[in-house]
Structure 1
Amino acid sequence: MKAIAVTPGKPNSVHLRDIPAPDINSVPDGKGIRIKVLKVGVDATDREINEALYGNAPPGDDFLVLGHECFGLVLEVGPNVRSVKPGDYVTATVRRPGSSIYDAIGTYDMTSEETYYERGINLLHGYLTEEIVDGEEYVVRVPQGLKHLHVLMEPMSCAAKAIHQAYECQRRMRVWSPKRAFVLGSGQIGLLATLVLKLKGLEVFTLARAPAPHLKSEIVEGLEASYISTQETSLLELAEKVGKADLIIDATGSSHVAFEAMQALGHNGVLVWTSITGGKKMAEIPSDKINIEWVLGNKLLLGSVNANREYFESGIKDMALGEVMYPGVLEKILTTPVDGLDNYAEMMRRLVEDNSALKVYVNVASE
C-alpha cells in the first residue's frame, strides 16, 4: 500500500513508497484494531523532519512514514476489543511506551527515558498511509458529531494536557483560581488552548504578530477571547495594561518569546512551554530581575509535550462542548486540504510556502 515517507537525516527526502499492509494479528491478546485512514493532519513537525532537523527510522528500516495526526474508520477489531467496533470513527495517540515506571502506568507521554517512541516522528512509522493497525489502548473513539473536526483531535489533546497539567501542579497552592490567561501564538495549539481556557471561565488574551482582522483573529473573537497583535501591543505592554497573567500558554515556536513570557506572569502563576525549538538561537534576558520575581512570587515553569489517552478523551469532550458554545468556529482552523497520498509534494509545499495555511491535512481516502 502507498505511504508518504522520508529518509531520516537526508534533507528534503519526502517521497511516496509502497509498504506492506498491516496485520491485525501483530497486536497480541486479540486487542488489535485495523483502521482505514481517512485524513491525516500535517504541521511544522513534519516539515522539520523533512528538513532533517530530527526524526529517526524504526529499527531495520531506512525510512520513516510521516504523519502523527490521524483520523480514520475502524474496519476490523480483534476478538477482545471492547471500546470500538467496525464503522466507528477514531483517532490514535502518538507516543508509545518505553520501559520506565511512567510508561508502565499509561503515562507514556511523561517517560523518564531519553529514548522515546512516537508514531511518525521517532522510531515508529506514522499514519500517512492507507491502513494502520494499532492496539486498543492507543485508539480513541471520535463521536460521529465531531467527524467534521477530524485531524484536530491530536493537537487538541496537547492543548488539553498543557492546561490540565498546570492545574494539577497548582494543587500545591491549596486554593488556586486563575482569572486571566495569555495564550502566545495563534496556530492550532494556541487556538485550541484558547478554547479550553474559555471553557474554564478565564479571561483570555491570545497574542500573535499580524494585526487584525484576519482568519486567526476571527477565530479568537469567535471563541469570545481577545486577539492582540504584538506589532501593536507587546506582551509586556499588555501585562502592564490589563495586569499580569495567572496562566500563560506559550505555543509560538519561539524561544525568545518563551523566555520573555516569564516577565508577564503574576504571583503564584504558571507558565507552560509547549514550543519545540530545535535551533541554536540565543536570547538576552534580565535574569536577575526574573530570578527575584520568580522566587518571591512562587511562580512555576512547566514543560508539556505530547499526550496520552486521558488527554485525547478530555480534549474530545472539550471540543464537543466548544461546538455547542461556539458553533462553527473550530472548523475554520481546517483551512488547507490536499487530496491523496500522491500529492505529497503539494502537501510539503503548502507547509513550507503557504502563509495562509492554518491547518494542512491530507484527504487520504473517502469513507
Structure 2
Amino acid sequence: MKAVAVTPGTPNSVHLEDIPAPSLDQIADGLGVLVKVLKVGVDATDREINEAQYGNAPEGDKHLVIGHESFGIVEAVGENVKRIKPGDYVTATVRRPGNSIYDLIGTNDMTSEETYYERGINLRHGFLTEYFVDEEEYIVRVPEGLKHLHVLQEPMSCAAKAVYQAYEAQRRLKVWSPKVAYVLGAGQIGLLTTLVLKLKGLEVYTLARGEAPNLKAEIVDGMEATYVSTKDKSLAALVKETGKPDLIVDATGSSKLAFEAMEHIGHNGVVVWTGITGGDKKTEVPSDNINLNWVLGNKLLLGSVNANRGHFEMGIRDLALGDVMYPGVLQKILTHGVDGLDNYAEMMRLLVEDKNALKVFVNVAEA
C-alpha cells in the first residue's frame, strides 16, 4: 500500500513509498486494532523532518513514514479488544514506550530515556498511509459528533497537557488560582491552548505577529479571548496594560520569545514551553535579572512535549465543550486540505511556502 515517507538524514527526500499492508496478527494477545486512515494532519514537525533536522527510521528500514496527527475509522479488532469496535472513529497517540519506569506505567511522554519512540517522528512509522495497526492501549475513540474536527485531536492533546501540567506543578502553592494568561503564538497549538484556558475561565491574550483583521484574530475573538499583534504592541507594553500574567504558554517555536517570556511572568507564575527549536541561534538575555526575580518570585519554567492517552481524552472533552461554547470557530483552524497521498508535494509546498496555511491535512480516504 502507499505511504508518504522521507529518507532520514537526506534533506527534501519526501516521497511515495510502497509498504506492506498491516494485519491484526502483528499485535500480540489479540489486542490489535486495524484502522483505515481517513485524514492525517501535518505541521512544522513534518516539514523539519523533511529538512533532515531530526527524525530516524525504524530499525531495519531506510525510510520513515511521516504524519503523527491521525484520524481514521476502525475496520477490525482483535478478540481481546474491549474499548474499541469496528465503525468507531479514532485517533492514535504518538509516543511509544521505552524501558523507563515512566514508560512502564503508561506515561510514555515523560520517558527518562534519551532515546524516545514516536510514530511518524522517531524510530516508529507514522500514519500517512492507507491503513495502520496498533495496540488498543494507543487508540483513542473520537465521538462521531467531533468528526468535523478530525485531525485536531492530536494537537489538542498537546495543548491540554501543557495547561494540565502547569496546574499539576502549581499544587505546590496550595491555593494557586490564575486569572490572566498569555499564549505566545497563534498556530494550531497556540489557538487550542487559548481554548483550554478560556474554558478554565482565564482572561487570555493570544499574541502573534500578524496584524488584525486576519483569520487567527477571528478565531481568537470567536473564543472570547483577546488577539494582540506584536507588530502593534510588544510583550512588555501588554504587561503594562494587564499587569504580569500568572501563566504564559509559549507556542512560537522561537527560542528568543521563549526566553523573553521569562522576563514578564508574575510572582508564583508559570512559563510553559511547548515549541521546539532545531538550530543553533543564540540570543542575549538579562540573566542576572531573571535569576533574581525567579528565585524571589517562586517562578516556574516547565517544558511540555507530546501527550499520553489521558491527555488525548482531556483534549477531546475540551474540543467537545469548545465546539458547543463557540460554534463553528474551531473548524476554521482546518484551512488547507490536500486530496490523496499522491499529492505529497503539494502538502509539503503548503507547509513550506503558504503563510496562510494554518492547518494542513491530507484527505486519504472516505469513511
SS at 2:263's partner residue? helix
Which amino acid counterpart does residue 90 of structure 1 have in structure 2? V
What residue number does 2:213 align with? 213
SS at 2:47's partner residue? helix
SS at 2:295's partner residue? helix
Separation (CA, whole Å) in 2 of partners of 1:278 and 1:271: 20
Q: Does 1:267 align with 2:267?
A: yes
Q: What RMSD in Å do the two structures reach over aligned CA positions? A: 0.4
Which amino acid counterpart does residue 264 of structure 1 have in structure 2? H
Separation (CA, whole Å) in 1 of partners of 2:254 and 2:283: 10
Q: Does 1:119 align with 2:135?
A: no
Residues 31-54 of structure 1: per-residue CA shift (max 9 Å, x gap): 000000000000000000000000
Separation (CA, whole Å) in 1 of partners of 2:180 and 2:14: 43
Which amino acid counterpart does residue 258 of structure 1 have in structure 2? A
SS at 2:91's partner residue? strand
Separation (CA, whole Å) in 1 of partners of 2:67 and 2:41: 7
What residue number does 1:37 align with? 37
Offset of 1:122 from its aligned partner?
0.2
TM-score (normalizing by structure 2): 1.00
SS at 1:267's partner residue? coil
Offset of 1:263 from its aligned partner?
1.0
What residue number does 2:103 align with? 103
Which amino acid counterpart does residue 174 of structure 1 have in structure 2? K
Unaligned runs of 5+ in 1: none
What residue number does 1:90 align with? 90
Offset of 1:241 from its aligned partner?
1.5
What residue number does 2:177 align with? 177
Separation (CA, whole Å) in 1 of partners of 2:30 and 2:123: 24
Offset of 1:149 from its aligned partner?
0.2
SS at 1:76's partner residue? strand
What residue number does 1:328 align with? 328
Residues 108-159 of structure 1: per-residue CA shift (max 9 Å, x gap): 1000000000000000000000000000000000000000000000000000
What residue number does 1:192 align with? 192
What residue number does 2:297 align with? 297
SS at 2:11's partner residue? coil
Separation (CA, whole Å) in 2 of partners of 1:144 and 1:73: 10
SS at 1:5's partner residue? strand
Which amino acid counterpart does residue 338 of structure 2 have in structure 1? V
- Pairing of 1:1-367 with structure 2 (within 5 A): 1-367=1-367
Separation (CA, whole Å) in 1 of partners of 2:268 and 2:38: 44
- Number of paired residues? 367
Residues 194-218 of structure 1: per-residue CA shift (max 9 Å, x gap): 0000000000000001110000000
SS at 2:262's partner residue? helix
Residues 9-62 of structure 1: per-residue CA shift (max 9 Å, x gap): 000000001100012111111100000000000000000000000000000000
Residues 170-221 of structure 1: per-residue CA shift (max 9 Å, x gap): 0000110000000000000000000000000000000001110000000000
TM-score (normalizing by structure 1): 1.00
Unaligned runs of 5+ in 2: none
Separation (CA, whole Å) in 2 of partners of 1:214 and 1:83: 42
Which amino acid counterpart does residue 208 of structure 2 have in structure 1? A
4+ runs deviating over 2 angstroms: none
Offset of 1:359 from its aligned partner?
0.2
Which amino acid counterpart does residue 252 of structure 1 have in structure 2? T
The percentage of aligned residue pairs carrying the same residue is 74
Which amino acid counterpart does residue 65 of structure 1 have in structure 2? V
Separation (CA, whole Å) in 1 of partners of 2:300 and 2:211: 31
Separation (CA, whole Å) in 1 of partners of 2:106 and 2:124: 18
SS at 1:22's partner residue? coil
Separation (CA, whole Å) in 2 of partners of 1:43 and 1:320: 23
Which amino acid counterpart does residue 240 of structure 2 have in structure 1? E
Which amino acid counterpart does residue 183 of structure 1 have in structure 2? V
Separation (CA, whole Å) in 2 of partners of 1:59 and 1:184: 37
SS at 1:313's partner residue? helix
Which amino acid counterpart does residue 276 of structure 1 have in structure 2? I
Separation (CA, whole Å) in 2 of partners of 1:7 and 1:88: 33
Separation (CA, whole Å) in 1 of partners of 2:234 and 2:134: 45
Which amino acid counterpart does residue 310 of structure 1 have in structure 2? G
Which amino acid counterpart does residue 209 of structure 1 have in structure 2? R
Residues 273-323 of structure 1: per-residue CA shift (max 9 Å, x gap): 001001111001111111111010000000000000000000000000001
